[in-house]
Structure 1
Amino acid sequence: MKITTFGRKTGYGHGLWSLAFVGMALLAGCGGGGGDTEVSSPSDFEPPAEPVNIGGDAELYDPDRLINVSVTMSPADFSQLKSEARTLASTDRECVPEFDYTEFTASVTIDGDRMDRVIVRKKGYMGSLSPSIPSLKLDFDDLWPGRTYQNMTRMTLNNNRQDPSNARQCLAYDQFRQAGIAAPKCNYARVSVNGQDLGVFTNVEPIKKPFLARAFGDDDGNQYEAQTADFGTWLSRRFEKKTNEKENDRTDLQAVTDALALPDEQMVNVLPQLVDVDEFIRFWAVETLLGAWDSATGNANNFHIYRDPGDGLFHFIPWGADTAFRGAHPLKPLTGVLYRNFSLADRLFNIPEYRARYEAELQDLLATQWDETALLAEVARIRELTGTTADAAASLKTFISGRGEAGDGDYRPARRAVIEQAIAEETPTGEVYRLSDTKPDCGAPATTSLTGSIKSEGGADTGAFRFTLPGGQSVNASLTFAAFEVDSLVYSVDRESKPAVISLLLIGADVNDNFTPYVLQLFIEASDYVPGTHQFHGFATNALLFEVDESQLGDVRTLALGAEGAMTITRAGTGASEGDVELTLDATLEYDSGIQ
């Protein structure tokens, strides 16, 4: 057993230790949420409720405001709400299954104003999912048509699971707005459910028709939400239509796809008739400056597009900005500083005129908008408003202003220096990771049961995990035998998550197959790292299976992801023995589609 903070170890599989960070970030920040299930309207025997605005005309998104939101609902309903989640494995399929969160009825009190018959449901795609602190959506007018709270029909409360500083989302959206990009407003809320304090959430303006009317002066156009989506014959199908759903006319997406298929000299003439290209380049530059890796140009993820009837052009809207002010892409580590993991950005970057315009936008943002002193002052203000600790905001401050001096072991340059150096490179570094525009395989994935019994005590790691390869070969990966070569159980804590996440990196050798090594990484929120049975839940409690392959980055290749099941902890150490653990596994994994 070894307790570590994402270090590296010599010997075979030395790159494995980076998994404790990469694995935790897998599929993170994938914002969004499933559609809503049907909820009955009030009984016809009840008197009709009159339209009403609760709370007066105060600004719901006043940045100086910390709202108190108290939800009261059936304990059984809240238990079910917390438990609902997509499976980690399902989000990795080429055809992601549809998923709906259940809607519940609750009473909600906001800053002393009580509202009954409010619809409450969980929200989140993957990175923000938590079994203990769920993100929430509140709908005030579904069961009471015309009811609003401070002129809004809904509230979206993000749990800040990927941002313990509580500041990244509001800081990021403010930077977009300063650059002239339509972006949601936001502030903060302290949320409790049935008297349980869940902590500080970000209260984000929903990207709905009221936002479109405010930002564009018209809400009749086509709006799409992107979760790992891009323009393409097949990829465009991943855009979820959010307005004009009944008509489902998606020819505007096809027009952009067709334009991007043209040679450069034709594309640059056609594209500006479909997309506000100048605005997109500035949007792209802001995403890059903010180091928002889980974004449109960083990850083909977490954004909306809106075709404004006024000019007939597509406009990009940022969303899911809790991974902003990070920079490095944990899933695509060779991306580099200048993001272009998106078809539109990649095509424009490879045309010298447009690359120059993109770099000029970055330089203009640095010269006219990026103010380190003002940003740090805003971080301090948010900390004071929300009661956030200095440690929780440390990585955000380091991103902005840097740390140490060149040559120091923990040196990190300020974001301004990182961007300036990237622009100065004659040949840009970094690889491009674009989604493949191919017909998806919607067949059922290969699965395997995963069982195991693991024990770590006083530095001795024993036990094994067992599974079956797609070809039928049974694997018994023994930690006991692997311990002769490496630390076969590595315990680490990711404090850049809220709550913190425990990672157990297990290395087992199959004695029946020439001691072939396999790696199993288990995750569980620190608040759940106690004796008991813990069901797999999104990425908060789950498992990743790898095989050692020294030709791959990090020396491993992903084999399978957790689908369903549980880990049962019988003992979890604390204090000086925090790495000691005893647990069993009983789960199902889905193999990656490329694994034979």
Structure 2
Amino acid sequence: MKTTTIGRKAGSGFGHWWLAMIGAGLLAGCGGGGGETEVSSPSDFDPPAEPVNIGGDAELYDPERLIDVSVSMSSADFSKLKSEARTLASTDRECVPEFEYTEFTASVTIDGDRMDRVIVRKKGYMGSLSPSIPSLKLDFNDLWPGRTYQNMTRMTLNNNRQDPSNARQCMAYDQFRQAGLAAPKCNYARVSVNGEDLGVFTNVEPIKKPFLARVFGDDDGNQYEAQTADFGTWLSERFEKKTNEKENDRTDLQAVTDALDLPDEQMVNVLPQLVDVDEFIRFWALETLLGAWDSATGNANNFHIYRDPGDGLFHFIPWGADTAFRGAHPLKPLTGVLYRNFSLADRLFSIPEYRARYEAELEDLLATQWDEADLLAEVERIRELTGTSAEATASLNAFIGGRGVAGDDDFRPARRAVIEQAIAEETPSGEVYRLADTQPDCSVPATTSLTGTIKSEDGADTGAFRFTLPGGRAVNASLTFAAFEVDSLVYSVDRESKPAVISLLLIGADINDNFTPYVLQLFIEASDYVPGTHEFHGFATNALLFEVDESQPGDVRTLALGAEGSITVIGVGSGASEGDVELSLNATLEYDSAIR
């Protein structure tokens, strides 16, 4: 992700705007018989399948290992699997619609050991979704009860879409484990489907009952997964219960919510009876040190909590760590270095004693665990193991050790210096973005069609995009007229995504309303940036519509997000004409809930 600055031409009345590019996250042959599969037990007429462990007792998550995973399935099934995705607009709703990926049967060969009748499905909520390189989940046990591969019933294969270095997830989880915190194990796999090499994936230990038993010694407690969830009257409903689902007893979440509603002097006595507070503070400090912006305390996202029956307390578990070793928050750009975009962190930070303990944990981690030489050596080890390019690991190395010297255009201080400076501030900088604990609005969102034809050639930007505002007024946003004031088509490439993502930032002036400016940002995976029609798919290929509002961060306010539709690329430039493009739009957008 990166920030695009739209330069103002002389005499412009449009202002100086910049947008946070949201390229990765918001607001994861025929051998299997093919066909969509409803999971069921083998037929009575099938020979009994005895429990078996394939591949022996080797460690599936050995960090020195690059596993070879080859999937064979119907080509039609694989095409459908790749195409499935939530819509960007649906994940922005206050009541996110139910969504399930289709399960298919396949044959899977892992390091030479073949298994038939394996369940395979796509994985991912939003940031990892890709129409070309899908994250995958494999289940060896469902159609063959008792079958395991190296004593594991499942494999979770993350495509590293938000991490071309291939190193961030495993290195982040390793840091959590070094700090004595619960975290999944992981290593790497080269994945192919029907002979097509999809590249290097991260093989992550699923946070399921075997993980809970291994880490906590007991898997009977309540486990919840958080996707933009927090403690609250309404927000707690966003935690997805992963164990004991039939009972669906969520009173333990309510108890934490009630504790956070108490005055400070009462809360600090009640909360430690519900949450391992000391452990949480270390967890929080480590998320901060790692710059893992799409995390519990950075974004109220991508984590699990488990109430251990042994001590009766909630414990936090990191997940989706592919945005670790980043720091800057692309969705909440005014977030400071010290993360607290989560109720528990924000509340504790407001109490001087607990803020001091949090900062002391950061200092202890810097002194006892954060070793730049060791971290950089691990980046290089993983790079060599996976065959990753030095260019792809450059930003990770810069995060750890810094880059250049002060005054250089590309200067970046080392993470240690950033944290030390933040701790030294008497008044912490940065704003706090917490989810609103209000009853969700589940009404049907307002929509608009989005059409247009756009062309940029030799620096000349022409065409228009058209939509209708919620009040019914039609907008014809002309790039041709906007080009008199600004560069009305800004082309950029985000290479911190895998595949890279092309961003086209379009500025149009509404010729029917005193040339009011609007901004449309299009994303297209680089592998799809070729002539043809490309369907909307998560963040990978989509559209975001903004209006200019100089009171907002970035001087724009989100109007609508892509729901469904397509971008038809007619032609693209190359070489010195790389930014040239001709395309048309045919899509539906959903308006943001605040302006419906």
2:24·2:162 contact (CA, 8 Å) conserved in 1? Answer: no
Q: Residue 208 in 1 paired to residue 208 in 2?
A: yes
**In the alignment, what sits opposite 1:454?**
454
CA spacing shift, 1:157–1:533, aligned 2, 3 Å: same
The more displaced of 406-415 and 447-456 is 406-415
In 2: Cα distance, 1:237 partner to 1:529 partner: 39
Between the aligned residues of both structures, percent identity stands at: 88
What does the per-residue CA deviation read over 1:400-446, in whole Å, with 9 as the maximum and x for residues that have no partner? Answer: 00011122222111000000010111111111100000000000000
Quick one: which amino acid aligns to residue 584 of structure 1? S
Give the drift of 1:64.
Answer: 0.2
Q: Residue 305 in 1 paired to residue 312 in 2?
A: no
Give the drift of 1:572.
Answer: 1.4
Give the drift of 1:39.
Answer: 1.9
Secondary structure, counterpart of 1:68 in structure 2: strand
> What pairs up with 1:42-441 in 2 under 5 angstroms?
42-441=42-441
In structure 1, stretches of 5+ residues that fail to align are 30-35
CA spacing shift, 1:444–1:64, aligned 2, 3 Å: same
Secondary structure, counterpart of 1:505 in structure 2: strand
Quick one: which amino acid aligns to residue 76 of structure 1? A
Give the drift of 1:476.
Answer: 0.5
Quick one: which amino acid aligns to residue 208 of structure 1? K
**In the alignment, what sits opposite 2:499?**
499
1:234·1:439 contact (CA, 8 Å) conserved in 2? Answer: yes
CA spacing shift, 1:473–1:28, aligned 2, 3 Å: closer
**In the alignment, what sits opposite 1:27?**
26
**In the alignment, what sits opposite 2:33?**
none
Give the drift of 1:451.
Answer: 0.5
Give the drift of 1:22.
Answer: 2.7
In 2: Cα distance, 1:37 partner to 1:501 partner: 33
Quick one: which amino acid aligns to residue 4 of structure 2? F
What does the per-residue CA deviation read over 1:30-85, in whole Å, with 9 as the maximum and x for residues that have no partner? Answer: xxxxxx98423322210110000000000000000000000000000000000000
1:187·1:203 contact (CA, 8 Å) conserved in 2? Answer: yes
Secondary structure, counterpart of 2:497 in structure 1: coil
In 1: Cα distance, 2:518 partner to 2:48 partner: 63
In 1: Cα distance, 2:361 partner to 2:21 partner: 31
In 2: Cα distance, 1:62 partner to 1:537 partner: 34
2:14·2:485 contact (CA, 8 Å) conserved in 1? Answer: no
**In the alignment, what sits opposite 2:4?**
6
In 2: Cα distance, 1:245 partner to 1:449 partner: 40
What does the per-residue CA deviation read over 1:389-409, in whole Å, with 9 as the maximum and x for residues that have no partner? Answer: 000000000000001112222
Give the drift of 1:577.
Answer: 1.4
1:25·1:330 contact (CA, 8 Å) conserved in 2? Answer: no
Give the drift of 1:370.
Answer: 0.1
**In the alignment, what sits opposite 1:32?**
none
RMSD, matched Cα: 1.3
In 2: Cα distance, 1:38 partner to 1:78 partner: 16
Quick one: which amino acid aligns to residue 552 of structure 1? Q
CA spacing shift, 1:426–1:39, aligned 2, 3 Å: same
2:118·2:139 contact (CA, 8 Å) conserved in 1? Answer: yes
TM-score normalised by L of structure 2: 0.97
1:107·1:114 contact (CA, 8 Å) conserved in 2? Answer: yes
TM-score normalised by L of structure 1: 0.97
Quick one: which amino acid aligns to residue 587 of structure 1? A
What does the per-residue CA deviation read over 1:324-356, in whole Å, with 9 as the maximum and x for residues that have no partner? Answer: 000011111111000000000001001111000
Quick one: which amino acid aligns to residue 27 of structure 1? L
Give the drift of 1:10.
Answer: 2.7
Quick one: which amino acid aligns to residue 249 of structure 2? D
What does the per-residue CA deviation read over 1:294-317, in whole Å, with 9 as the maximum and x for residues that have no partner? Answer: 000000000000000000000000
1:28·1:128 contact (CA, 8 Å) conserved in 2? Answer: no
Secondary structure, counterpart of 2:570 in structure 1: strand
Quick one: which amino acid aligns to residue 8 of structure 2? T
In 1: Cα distance, 2:3 partner to 2:153 partner: 44
Quick one: which amino acid aligns to residue 432 of structure 1? V
CA spacing shift, 1:361–1:586, aligned 2, 3 Å: same
Give the drift of 1:541.
Answer: 0.3
Give the drift of 1:15.
Answer: 4.5
Give the drift of 1:551.
Answer: 1.5
Q: Residue 574 in 1 paired to residue 574 in 2?
A: yes
The more displaced of 180-189 and 6-15 is 6-15
Q: Residue 538 in 1 paired to residue 556 in 2?
A: no
Quick one: which amino acid aligns to residue 283 of structure 1? F
In 1: Cα distance, 2:15 partner to 2:192 partner: 44
CA spacing shift, 1:105–1:138, aligned 2, 3 Å: same
Quick one: which amino acid aligns to residue 571 of structure 1? G
In 2: Cα distance, 1:506 partner to 1:484 partner: 14
Give the drift of 1:6.
Answer: 3.4
Secondary structure, counterpart of 2:499 in structure 1: coil
What does the per-residue CA deviation read over 1:512-570, in whole Å, with 9 as the maximum and x for residues that have no partner? Answer: 11011111000000000001110000110000000111121111110000000001111
1:295·1:303 contact (CA, 8 Å) conserved in 2? Answer: yes
Give the drift of 1:5.
Answer: 8.4
Secondary structure, counterpart of 1:441 in structure 2: coil
What does the per-residue CA deviation read over 1:110-143, in whole Å, with 9 as the maximum and x for residues that have no partner? Answer: 0000000000000000000000000000000000
Equivalent residue pairs, number: 585
What does the per-residue CA deviation read over 1:128-171, in whole Å, with 9 as the maximum and x for residues that have no partner? Answer: 00000000000000000000000000000000000000000000
Quick one: which amino acid aligns to residue 382 of structure 1? I
**In the alignment, what sits opposite 2:527?**
527
CA spacing shift, 1:26–1:154, aligned 2, 3 Å: closer
In 1: Cα distance, 2:390 partner to 2:45 partner: 55
2:65·2:187 contact (CA, 8 Å) conserved in 1? Answer: yes
What does the per-residue CA deviation read over 1:501-521, in whole Å, with 9 as the maximum and x for residues that have no partner? Answer: 000111111111101111100
In 2: Cα distance, 1:478 partner to 1:42 partner: 60
In 2: Cα distance, 1:573 partner to 1:74 partner: 35
Quick one: which amino acid aligns to residue 22 of structure 2? G
What does the per-residue CA deviation read over 1:360-386, in whole Å, with 9 as the maximum and x for residues that have no partner? Answer: 000000000000000000000000000
CA spacing shift, 1:158–1:582, aligned 2, 3 Å: same
In 2: Cα distance, 1:496 partner to 1:6 partner: 14
In 1: Cα distance, 2:340 partner to 2:16 partner: 26
CA spacing shift, 1:13–1:122, aligned 2, 3 Å: farther
2:224·2:304 contact (CA, 8 Å) conserved in 1? Answer: yes
Secondary structure, counterpart of 2:155 in structure 1: strand
